Chain A
């Protein structure tokens, strides 16, 4: 099983973090006790610029979840199609060559799902196996990759794709001045990423997927997720999240590597979910990683913000296109999400 290609796509509206901050300050300024607090929190998220699904002035009119979700359906199809087309082109494949598609998003919902709409728009196979996933949050890009790997393990001559589309800006809760919401409004960005996974009988030049592992941390449901209502998706984000990552990730990674007769010292390439500065710092401590090891994730965070499930796939694209490790290098792709859960994917370049 190999990763034949990865590609991202972003909406055309790109903003400097200072522009977004001043818009949020106009919105929230009168409501927060200390407006400097907004600025301090947002300075700490380590993001320089972000793409937004809509031009920034249109967010003021986004009064209902229905409107936001309708925009999600429109924009998700557009950038989802772009990302998937680009990944297929890089893998030298046509849309009709795809056998299975794992579509993931946590920022909007649709029925028929986006993958069905793309089947019409892109001329995907009429017998495409579609798996639209909602509920895994930030971990879903890595999980989609693992499940696509399972699929081509069953069908070694098939090709599967993972498509993650996250339009986090459309979930912005304009009335919620909780710390969790203020942090997330400074941190999360919009974007899409597609990854093509080929079965063993279709060798490609991309990294090989050797093994995968899902882990759920018991009784940590309350750490991360959505509080869902007619107002849309309200962020649940507990302070102890980085602590959980720091304590649990090391032992989980080690157990996974031991199963594959490896240790952390054997890994030279790290593709890590760009959760935010505190999550990345906790990850580095947990796994004993250097700044150099973490640099693709830090760079993607600065460039695009946290793209939820698409984040780790964008880091994968960055590494595949511009920082490709030498052949034979072992690498780990890892992401975390609600549950609280983690997904680990062992790669060999």
Chain B
């Protein structure tokens, strides 16, 4: 099983954090007790730029979940097509080569799903197997790579696509001045990413997926997720998330590596979800990683924010395109999400 191609796509509206934060501050100024809070938050989050699904001024008139979700369907279909086309051309594959598509998003919903709409737009095979996933949140990009790897393990002569589209800005809760919402509105960005997995019998050039593992942390349902209502998707984000990661990640990673006769020191490339500064710090501390091991994740975070499920795929793209490890290097791709849970993937370049 080989990762034959990875590509991202972003909306054309790119903003400096210095533009976005004051806009949010103006919006909330009258309602938050401590207006300097946003500035301190910004200094802490450390983002530079983010992409948005819509031009900034259009968000002020986004008054209902229905309007926001309609934009999600429209922009999600466009970006999804761009990312998938780009990944196919990088892998030297055509749409007719695809046997399955795992579509995932936690920022909007649609029936028929976006993958069905893309069959019509992109002329994908009419017998493609479609798996549209909602509910896994930030972990879904990694989880879809694992499920796509399972699929091509069953069908070694086929290629499966993972497509993640996250338009986090469209979930912005304009009335919610909770810390969780203010953190997330300064942290999350919009984007799409596609990954192609080729079965063992396909000719492909890229890192191999050796094995995968899903890890679930019991009784942590409350630390992360959506509170869903007619107002849309309101973030649930507990202060405990970094601690849950710190407590659990190392033992899961070590068990997973030991099953494969490896240890942390054998891993040369860390492809980690860009959850946010506190998540990346907790991850580095939990795994006792050397300085610079997470540079790629930090850089992706600075340039685009947390792209939810697409984030770890954007980090993977960066490794594939610009910082390809030497042949034979082991890599660990990992993401975390609501549940609380983690998905681990062992790669070899």
Contact = CB atoms under 8 A, between A and B. Distances in A.
A341 interface: yes
A59 B62 CA distance: 30
Contacts of A219: 120
Interface stretch (A30-38, A107-115, A201-209): A107-115
Contacts of B225: 110-112
A109 to B, nearest CB: 6
A13 interface: no
Contact of B112 (A143, A154, A338): A338
A169 B217 CA distance: 33
A250 interface: no
A69 B233 CA distance: 12
Contacts of A125: 216
Nearest to A72: B228
A150 B113 contact: no
Interface in B127-155: 127-137, 143, 146-147, 150-151, 153-155
Contacts of B130: 136, 143, 214, 216, 341
B338 A127 contact: no
Interface of B (DSSP majority class)? mixed
Given A112-B225, A116-B338, A136-B113, A230 B64 contact: yes
B106 A128 contact: no
A69 B135 contact: no
A230 B228 contact: no
Interface of A (DSSP majority class)? mixed
A126 to B, nearest CB: 5
Interface in B166-210: none
Interface residues of A, number: 63
Interface residues of B, number: 58
Given A147-B129, A229-B64, A131 B147 contact: yes
A134 B135 contact: yes
Contacts of A319: none
B147 A135 contact: no
Contacts of B221: 112, 116-117, 120
Interface in B204-253: 213-219, 221, 224-226, 228-233
Nearest to A140: B132
A281 B134 CA distance: 33
B69 interface: yes
Interface string A212-252: 01111111010011101111110000000000000000000
B228 A110 contact: yes
Given A66-B231, A67-B229, A110-B225, 6 more contacts: A112-B339, A135-B110, A154-B150, A228-B66, A229-B64, A230-B232
Interface of A: 64-67, 69-70, 100, 103, 106, 109-117, 119-120, 124-137, 143, 146-147, 150-151, 153-155, 213-219, 221, 224-226, 228-233, 338-341
30 contacts: A64-B230, A103-B135, A106-B111, A111-B135, A112-B135, A112-B137, A113-B135, A115-B135, A116-B216, A119-B339, A126-B216, A128-B214, A129-B147, A129-B214, A131-B147, A134-B109, A134-B132, A134-B134, A134-B135, A135-B109, A137-B111, A154-B154, A221-B116, A224-B112, A225-B111, A226-B111, A228-B109, A338-B116, A339-B116, A341-B116
